[in-house]
Amino acid sequence: MADESLFDFLHMEIVSHIYKEQQSSKGEMDNKDRAVCVSVLESMGFRVGQGLIERLTRDSPSFKDELDVMKFVCKDFWTKVFRRQVDNLRTNHQGTYVLQDNKFSLLTQLSSGKQYLDQAPKYLAFSCGVVRGALSNLGLDSVVTAEVSVMPSCKFQVVIQKL
Amino acid sequence: MSRQSNRTTDSKKMNSELFTLTYGALVTQLCKDYENDEEVNKQLDKMGYNIGVRLIEDFLARSSIGRCQDFRETADVIAKVAFKMYLGVTPSVTNWSPAGDEFSLILENNPLVDFVELPDNHSTLVYSNLLCGVLRGALEMVQMAVDVRFAQDTLRGDNVTEIRMKFIKRIEENLPAGDE
């Protein structure tokens, strides 16, 4: 059983690698480069999220409705992946959900407060993908974004896409 | 009682899966970015090195192991403490060279390769090469230059996974001039 810290180390190095590779050809990063990095990290997270939710829900019965799915994500899924439950779930009952985690595990080692706030998005892209991948395999297409104003508290916004 | 322990095992297992799935996503991404397996192997080694130089501090803080007297002791610590702590497996230490500067770590099962199969067009890919870099980087931080490579790999058809480690030299600490 791999230790928890291994994922943290691996994730940090992956972020570092992706950004270094994108930067190496030019020396300076513009917004387009940053968007590419975020996109690569997000799609890696997507695959991982899909795999994880498959393993986790293998023996579970199907969900009653969308809210049920989101509650599962906030409790069981979040505990398994981010080692705690989401602190606060809000919804407008029209497909938009805000998941607030006050001690997001991938941010706790960065800072508590405003230091390195500009770096936070790099470390959230993968996690957004994980959430999006999990929802995808539960039958929900979504757009997942994350927002940080004070580390390590983080808000994930999930917008379910209606077909 | 038993329900609680189930949850702990499950949660450890899930963390394990998070790590192995993320590693798989990384290797897949590298295969997309680089044209050939050799280049991917190199990148994995480099990334492993970067992780290793940080991991060693985590290891030393959590294990309170003192300085190893010789390479044999180092091998034992790597197998029985480090691998156990981080990957939950204990490889056996065998095949010592007569000079005592080279040995093998034999892993019956490699946690990195759960759910993994190598497609035919990646036969020279050393999937778990990150491990070699980690070991190399970690040992460099404790003044040992080593060469680490995979001698056998279950993904490529061998029965076991064998990591061969060779001691190159002791790295002298470079103190800045003028320090007492």
Q: What is the rounded CA–CA span in Å between residue B18 and residue A4?
A: 9
Domain ranges of chain B: 14-168
Q: Which residues of A touch B14 (CB under 8 A)?
A: 52, 55-56, 80-81
Q: What is the rounded CA–CA span in Å between residue B31 and residue B71?
A: 35
CA distance A92 to chain B (A): 31
Q: How confident is the model at residue B3 (pLDDT cuts 50, 70, 90)?
A: very low
Q: Which residues of B touch A45 (CB under 8 A)?
A: 25
pLDDT tens for A7-59 read 999 999 999 999 998 887 677 788 888 999 999 999 999 999 999 999 899 88
pLDDT tens for B7-63 read 445 555 656 889 999 999 999 999 999 989 999 999 999 999 999 999 999 999 999
Beta-bridge mates of residue B106: B92, B162
pLDDT tens for B155-179 read 988 999 999 999 999 998 766 665 4
Quickly tell me which residue has 């991991």 as its tokens.
B55
Q: Which of B16, B28, B29 sits opposite A2 (nearest CB)?
A: B16
Q: Is the pLDDT assigned to residue B1 strictly greater than 50?
A: no
Burial (CB count <10 Å: 0-12, 13-18, 19+), residue A148: buried
Q: CB under 8 Å to A20, separation ≥6 — which residues?
A: none
Q: Which of B18, B24, B87 sits opposite A7 (nearest CB)?
A: B18
Quickly tell me which residue has 């297992």 as its tokens.
B13
CB contact under 8 A, B28 and A47: yes
CB contact under 8 A, A1 and B111: yes
CB contact under 8 A, A2 and B20: yes
Angle at A43 between CA A134 and CA A61, to 5 degrees: 10
Q: How confident is the model at residue B4 (pLDDT cuts 50, 70, 90)?
A: very low
Q: What is the rounded CA–CA span in Å between residue A42 and residue A73?
A: 18
Amino acid at A47: R
pLDDT tens for A51-110 read 999 989 988 888 989 999 999 999 999 999 999 999 999 999 999 999 999 999 999 988
The two counts, helices (H) then strands (E), for chain B are 5, 4
In the sheet where B92-94 sits, what is the strand order? B92-94, B102-107, B161-170, B144-152
User: What mean pLDDT is reported for chain B?
Assistant: 89
CB contact under 8 A, A6 and B26: no
CB contact under 8 A, A6 and B87: yes
Q: Are B78 and B85 in contact (CB under 8 A)?
A: no
CB contact under 8 A, B58 and A1: no
CB contact under 8 A, A10 and B19: yes
Q: In the prediction, which pLDDT does B178 show? A: 57
Q: Which residues of B touch A80 (CB under 8 A)?
A: 10-11, 14-15, 18
Q: Which of A2, A16, A44 sits opposite B111 (nearest CB)?
A: A2
CA distance B67 to chain A (A): 23
**Assigned CATH for B14-168:** 3.30.1380.20
pLDDT tens for A125-154 read 999 999 999 999 999 999 999 999 999 999
* Residue B94: both structure tokens together: 């065998």
What is the mean predicted confidence (pLDDT) over B110-130? 90
CB contact under 8 A, B50 and A16: yes
Q: Are A77 and A99 in contact (CB under 8 A)?
A: no
Cβ-Cβ contacts under 8 Å between A and B: the total is 89
For residue B173, give the DSSP letter: P
Rg of chain B taking only CA atoms, in angstroms: 18
Q: What is the rounded CA–CA span in Å between residue B150 and residue B135?
A: 12
Residues of B with CB under 8 A from a CB of A: 9-26, 28-29, 33, 43, 47, 50-51, 54-55, 58, 85-88, 111, 115, 130
Q: In the prediction, which pLDDT does B11 show? A: 55
Q: In the prediction, which pLDDT does B13 show? A: 61
Q: What is the rounded CA–CA span in Å between residue A162 and residue A66?
A: 12
Q: What is the rounded CA–CA span in Å between residue B106 and residue B103?
A: 10
Q: In the prediction, which pLDDT does A2 show? A: 81
